[in-house]
Structure 1
Amino acid sequence: MESPSSNLLRRGRWSEPGRLYLVTTNTRNRVPLFRDLHWARTVVLQLRKSDEDRACRSLAWVLMPDHLHWLIELHDLGLSDLMCAFKSRSSCALYRAGADRRRIWQPSFHDRALRREEDMRAVARYIIANPIRAGLVKHAGEYSHWDCVWL
């Protein structure tokens, strides 16, 4: 069930082409679907498709077992439209890969617009270190579901 405050996340949200955003989205009920290598790689392909479609430029991302952190430079598509398209495409791809036909993602997402002065590389390092902080690995190189343009 969607939380009562989730509509508040969307109220007043607008996005700006060329702006940098850190986006976080969770699987429905935080189910750790992406412990499965095949399903995780299926979602990674859909992340890359967003770049290929020129909806955004991915600067850094990590796909955790139950959520995604994604640092992007937004192109002409609105942020909500980008996330809707990504979640729809990845869900369909997961269904084709054999995932249960249930809602994959929570309906909402969290975003934070970054100022150009912020150290994007520090934000990227924070994203990439997520599996270490979660105790999944000791070194980022041991975790297979991440990418960063600077590393």
Structure 2
Amino acid sequence: MPDLPASHRLRTGRYAEPNRIYLLTANTLDREPVFADVALGRLVVQQFRRAQTIGMASSLAWVVMPDHFHWLVELENCSLRRLMRETKSLATREVNLSSGRNGSLWQQGFHDRALRREDDLVKMARYVVANPLRARLVESLGDYPLWDAIWV
């Protein structure tokens, strides 16, 4: 493989398929813990909900961690690239307006993993939302405010 920047390597071979389930991950720039401020994390959640409302993707589970998010989605009427570009762009705008920040919020690119319907989606959702427990941010998942799953 040629020596490409990480953001380009993430795109190599990427193919988005409608009605496919994906686990998406995006990191803040320099892994800055921006969403340790829960109010700013809720602005990311608003973008997840927006994407669902306008039919881009159905959210199955998500968690917003201090410096990244995981989002389990079923892709609907858009590409992964568009879904993530709009979600990250609109979240950046809202976070910057609310916090007085300016400039980039996210690292370039994102990570995606396509899942098969035979995969245990409930198990994957549990893995996603248990992130704060594994990171030892809370002792009980109910104590963490920035997560959701359709199976809960």
Superposition TM-score tier, normalisation by shorter sequence: over 0.9
Equivalent residues in 2 for 1:21-40 (5 A)?
A: 21-40=22-41
Distance in structure 2 (CA, Å) of the matches to 1:101 and 1:84: 18
Structure 1 unaligned blocks of 5 or more: none
Which amino acid in the other structure matches residue 60 of structure 1?
A: A
Runs of 4+ in 1 over 3 A off after TM superposition: none
Residue type at the aligned position of 2:129: I
Q: CA deviation at 1:4?
A: 2.0
What residue number does 2:146 align with? 145
Q: After the TM superposition, which residues 48-59 of structure 1 pair with which residues of structure 2 at under 5 Å, given as runs?
A: 48-59=49-60
How many angstroms apart in 2 are the aligned matches of 1:12 and 1:61? Answer: 25
Task: Report the aligned-residue RMSD.
Answer: 1.1
Query: How far is the alpha carbon of 1:134 from its aligned partner?
Result: 0.1
- Name the SS of the counterpart of 1:96 in structure 2: helix
Partners of 1:84 and 1:67 in 2: how far apart? 15
Match of 1:91, SS state, is helix
User: Cα offset for 1:99?
Assistant: 3.8
**2:145 & 2:6 partners in 1: Cα distance?**
34
* SS of structure 2 residue aligned to 1:97: helix
Matched ranges for 1:99-110 at <5 A: 99-110=100-111
Task: Output the amino acid matched with 1:114.
Answer: L
| Paired amino acid for 2:18 | P
Q: Note the C-alpha offset of 1:32.
A: 0.2
TM-score calculated relative to the size of structure 2: 0.95
Match of 1:42 in 2: 43
Please state how far the C-alpha of 1:5 moved relative to its aligned partner: 2.9
Secondary structure of 2:99's counterpart equals: coil
Q: Which residue of 1 aligns with 2:80?
A: 79
- The unaligned stretches of length 5 or more in structure 2 are none
TM-score (norm 1): 0.95
Letter in 1 for 2:137: L
Identity of aligned residues (%): 46
How many angstroms apart in 2 are the aligned matches of 1:68 and 1:99?
21
Give aligned pairs, total. Answer: 149
**What residue number does 1:6 align with?**
7
Whole-angstrom distance in 1 between the partners of 2:67 and 2:129: 15
Indicate the SS of the match to 1:14.
coil
Cα offset, 1:143, TM superposition: 0.3
